[in-house]
Structure 1
Amino acid sequence: MNRIYLYVVVSLFSVGALSSCGGGGSKGGAVSEKTGYAYNKRENGGFEVKKNFKRGPGPGLIEIEGGEFIMGGSAMDIPGQDMSAYNYKRQVTVSSFYMDETEVSNTDWLEYLHWIKTTFKGKQELAQYYYEALPDTLVWRRPLSYNEPYVNNYLRHPAYGDYPVVGVSWQQATDYCVWRTDRVNEFILREKGIMTPFKELNKPTAKGGAPVKKSDTIFNTEVYLNGQIKDVGKRAPIDLSANAANANGKGKALRNVRLEDGEIFQPYRLPTEAEWEYAALGLIGNTQYANINEKKIYPWNGLGITSPKKSTRGMILANFKRGKGDYMGVGGSLNDKGSITQSVRSFTPNDFGLYNMAGNVNEWVQDVYRPNTFEATEGLNPFRGNEYADKERDPQSAVIKIDGKGRPVMKPAAAGVKQTWAQLQSKYVDSTYKSDQRGYKDEEKNLGNGELITLYDNKSRVYKGGSWNDQAMWLNPAARRFLQEDESTADIGFRCAMTMLGAPEVKSVGKPQFRNKAPKPFKVK
């Protein structure tokens, strides 16, 4: 990756997320409550425990403190809306998570394409990988519209650089999330010196020795954590359980980071429909002492679509179509200031700090579409679309099989519980276990000749939010539509999310807390 991109990315990190891990874990004499052994001591076997972990969002993300809300509840107050499209309403709870402040932009996607082109240069996988990642710019074409300039310019011209990427399918958006996860984690490890820093790769050593070469294995988080990428930097953690010396000249063996070290970010992914609707409503700004003071039908307060503030009074609060043929208003007094999409930082963010959670572009979410999804899903983190898969690995050596993109080869999960060692060695498969649960509890009805009655199936994905090409009714966070996961349009984009680990409370300062006593250390008498 070009270093120009790296310095742009680093400014987005929180300070807490970049805490150094040099030395390999917790210091200060932490002791096991249950055995009395001191942690992080070579003489005690080298079991390491990280006690100074500081969580924080990855690049581009902001914290969303979760909570309870009525999913689908905001649709009830929209005048003239067809309520049959929102025949669900359910109290659910969403765990705290991270979400992109803005939609993914054209520049973001061009960075992705650039990485593919430079990383796979000279490899046979390049042509297919690059082509499959290209957005479908032909989504702009209409039989009775002159949109050809958008076909040729929208993705690549700098005039649209900070506009949301469109023409990407659900599958492409999901693949981008996987790529982004690996690039962010590799950047963290190289920037901290846990792996060889980018600036030192292919650079001769100070004593005139051979230059350090980057591994031929493309960085993938899971492959790295499995120990299959051998690139140990000068600030890698010390392996307290190893006896052999490493090449750092100090007689200390260094190792790859482990998940237990807390240095690796969770995967970027598409938000679930419940997460997206919860974040779009932004009820946190209307909540006091667990009571919601004012309901919302848009990401902002009030029943209108124009700003009530004195300085911006009358300005449209989102990018949408006011009526058939009215995309931006009258010349000299444009209402939303955009005929198609606009910058991903247009308008005012909602109370969570998220931009364009209504209008601009619709956004893909993870869920498989069903009209009555929330009659069957769980009350905590409701989601339909689980497709359980395992990494394909050698049962003896645990080496992960890697595909042409440097990613683990995945296979359908073999069982719903941990297999016995004998089952694992014999490649036992529980034929009663349903690894793909995207159609969980569905009754598929057909016409007698095998054709489904419905227009949706397990490849139909939900999108939400309304767009530049939609009228105001679709700006409501409860509104939901679907499209096949391999299709794309000129008015659907996406943003990424990430799971937040640990306590759900984002900011505890100034809030009542229980005080817990520290454990008493064990002493041998």
Structure 2
Amino acid sequence: MKKLMQLALVAILLTACGKPKGELVGAGAKGSFHEANPYGMVYIKQGAFMMGINNQTTIFSVPDKQVKVSVSAFWMDETEVTNDEYKQFTNWVRDSIARLLLFQQAGMQEFVKPDRFGEIDEENPVLNWKTKIPWDSQEEDVLLALDQMRDYDGSIDPNVMHYRYEWINLDQAALPKNRFDAKRGCFGPDAECRVDTSWVEYFGDDHLRGEIKDSTIVRKLVQKSDLLANRIVNVYPDTIVWIRDFQFAYNEPLLSMYFNHPGYAHYPVVGVTWEQAEAFCHWRTELFNQNHEIRGQRYRLPTEAEWEYAARGGRKMALYPWGGNYVRDNQGCYLANFKPMRGSYTDDTGAVTMKVASFAPNDFGLFDMAGNVSEWTSDAFNPSSNKWIHDMNPSFQYTANAEDPAILKRKVIKGGSWKDVAYYLQCGTRTYEYQFEDRAYIGFRCVRSFMGE
């Protein structure tokens, strides 16, 4: 009994010691946070460097101004996103459409989850990913539901692969007129926001195939949800780029096999627009957050400054990612996959794209930061942007509205590709492509801002 009394007294004392007693002790976070290494990504430490081309520019081009900038730490994919990795995205979109069809048209409630009250939201159901899709079922209801997704040859029709996502339009939230008035407890009387919205105009009675329409609307800013924008993107890569981009060239084998054949699984995905790459980043973020108790920073495309800093590998004046001023090593071997000479694509052992990580990484451990495929960045392209960007985490962002002219939809691409000459492989070289265009020589990789200690 005496021991029990002693234990009870100790418990009371410990409990009393844990109470704040009117002092400021914080909200209850315990210890320090250490971010786990994201799979397949490399840590890029913070640093400063001279941004811009540090060699001669091409004839008649506008010379870039070199500026010294600082970049915060971030994570970056060690290779470009591969066909196999991007296929995980397209398979997810395919399976989500199939589950929705089986619920809505075949009445199979096992493909959705009820809410906490046991009710199912008919309009926006929560999909159940544990139930296996009966792709080979011969039941009439299942066949009728899933056949809507199929093309004439029985394969899944790429035209139905639509992905819808939402985001907060932060550039509109940051406008001076949209400042929240803390004194009044609301936004100002002139607060309004321009947001993008997408919808599909379906073809007749077909509720899977249709034309994606984009529009920009202006609405009064009353609450945070008014800043929500949405976009619908067809996510399947455009494999026809292998013929469209290269007239009078026989590339049909790549058209039919590059994205689908397992032999190309670890090659960089191409035929993907900037908008599709953005959709992939959003999906990857949601995939991570749904499987982790603590939400992480979002996956995104790198800014031009982040990309260039990472490409230099910590060598502040490096001309190429490997640190040297030449495209050959001491043995005369090429150090990247590009076009060494006129009409000669194969001297570097690759004719078109090659498997990722076919060449040595740079000092940060990143592969293929020069050659193989050019890479999308998040920055809008302006030849003079280096003259006014900030020197801390510089980024020239512009979210083009649906009605904007094409010139405002140019995005910076970096790194050069298998079809480019050595000049475009230099770390500081920049060029552009329109955000709605897909090419057989442009891919991408993701980054994620580092947080914690």
Structure-1 residue corresponding to 2:441: 491
Normalising by the residue count of structure 2, what TM-score does the alignment of the two structures yield? 0.64
Q: Give the Cα–Cα distance (whole angstroms) in 2 for the partners of residues 386 and 51 of structure 1.
A: 39
Alignment of 1:438-453 (within 5 A): none
Structure-2 residue corresponding to 1:121: 98
Three-state SS of the structure 1 residue aligned to 2:377 is: strand
Runs of at least 4 residues of structure 1 off by over 6 A?
Answer: 29-32
Structure-2 residue corresponding to 1:465: 415
Is residue 103 of structure 1 aligned with residue 103 of structure 2?
Answer: no
Alignment of 1:128-277 (within 5 A): 128-129=161-162, 132-141=234-243, 142-189=246-293, 263-277=294-308
Alignment of 1:351-500 (within 5 A): 351-387=363-399, 457-500=407-450
Q: AA paired with 1:358?
A: A
Q: AA paired with 1:137?
A: T
Q: Give the Cα–Cα distance (whole angstroms) in 1 for the partners of residues 393 and 60 of structure 2.
A: 24
Q: Give the Cα–Cα distance (whole angstroms) in 2 for the partners of residues 163 and 348 of structure 1.
A: 16
Q: Give the Cα–Cα distance (whole angstroms) in 2 for the partners of residues 386 and 171 of structure 1.
A: 13
Q: Give the Cα–Cα distance (whole angstroms) in 1 for the partners of residues 97 and 446 of structure 2.
A: 25
Structure 1 residue 48: Cα displacement:
2.8
Q: Give the Cα–Cα distance (whole angstroms) in 2 for the partners of residues 343 and 113 of structure 1.
A: 20
- Aligned partner of 2:51 among 71, 75, 87: 71
CA 282–136 in structure 1, closer or farther in 2 if over 3 Å, else same: same
Q: Give the Cα–Cα distance (whole angstroms) in 1 for the partners of residues 46 and 264 of structure 2.
A: 34
CA deviation string 1:134-175 (max 9, x = no partner): 001111003200001111100011111100000000000000
Q: Give structure 1 stretches of 5+ with no counterpart.
A: 1-26, 40-46, 190-262, 287-291, 330-335, 388-435, 439-450, 504-525
Q: Give the Cα–Cα distance (whole angstroms) in 2 for the partners of residues 276 and 120 of structure 1.
A: 35
Structure-2 residue corresponding to 1:321: 339
Q: AA paired with 2:54?
A: M
Structure 1 residue 278: Cα displacement:
0.5
Structure 1 residue 345: Cα displacement:
1.3
- Aligned partner of 2:23 among 36, 43, 46: 36
CA deviation string 1:409-448 (max 9, x = no partner): xxxxxxxxxxxxxxxxxxxxxxxxxxx8x9xxxxxxxxxx
Q: Is contact 1:31-1:38 (8 Å) kept? A: no
Q: Give the Cα–Cα distance (whole angstroms) in 2 for the partners of residues 320 and 140 of structure 1.
A: 17
Three-state SS of the structure 1 residue aligned to 2:292 is: helix
> Over aligned residues, Cα RMSD in angstroms?
2.7
Q: Percent identity?
A: 39
Three-state SS of the structure 1 residue aligned to 2:336 is: coil
Q: AA paired with 2:78?
A: E
CA 370–94 in structure 1, closer or farther in 2 if over 3 Å, else same: same
Q: Give the Cα–Cα distance (whole angstroms) in 1 for the partners of residues 319 and 19 of structure 2.
A: 52
Q: Give the Cα–Cα distance (whole angstroms) in 1 for the partners of residues 51 and 363 of structure 2.
A: 18
Structure-2 residue corresponding to 1:92: 69
Q: Is contact 2:318-2:427 (8 Å) kept? A: no
Structure-1 residue corresponding to 2:40: 60
Q: How many residues align?
A: 310
Alignment of 1:337-352 (within 5 A): 337-352=349-364
Three-state SS of the structure 2 residue aligned to 1:116 is: helix
CA deviation string 1:118-138 (max 9, x = no partner): 122143698251681100111
Three-state SS of the structure 2 residue aligned to 1:123 is: helix
Q: Give the Cα–Cα distance (whole angstroms) in 2 for the partners of residues 104 and 112 of structure 1.
A: 11
Q: Is contact 2:338-2:418 (8 Å) kept? A: yes
Normalising by the residue count of structure 1, what TM-score does the alignment of the two structures yield? 0.55
Q: Give structure 2 stretches of 5+ with no counterpart.
A: 1-14, 102-123, 125-148, 150-159, 164-232
Structure 1 residue 116: Cα displacement:
1.2
Q: AA paired with 1:299?
A: P
The answer to which structure has the higher strand fraction is 2
Three-state SS of the structure 1 residue aligned to 2:375 is: strand
Q: Is contact 1:105-1:162 (8 Å) kept? A: yes
Q: Is contact 2:33-2:452 (8 Å) kept? A: no
Three-state SS of the structure 1 residue aligned to 2:43 is: strand
Q: AA paired with 1:77?
A: N
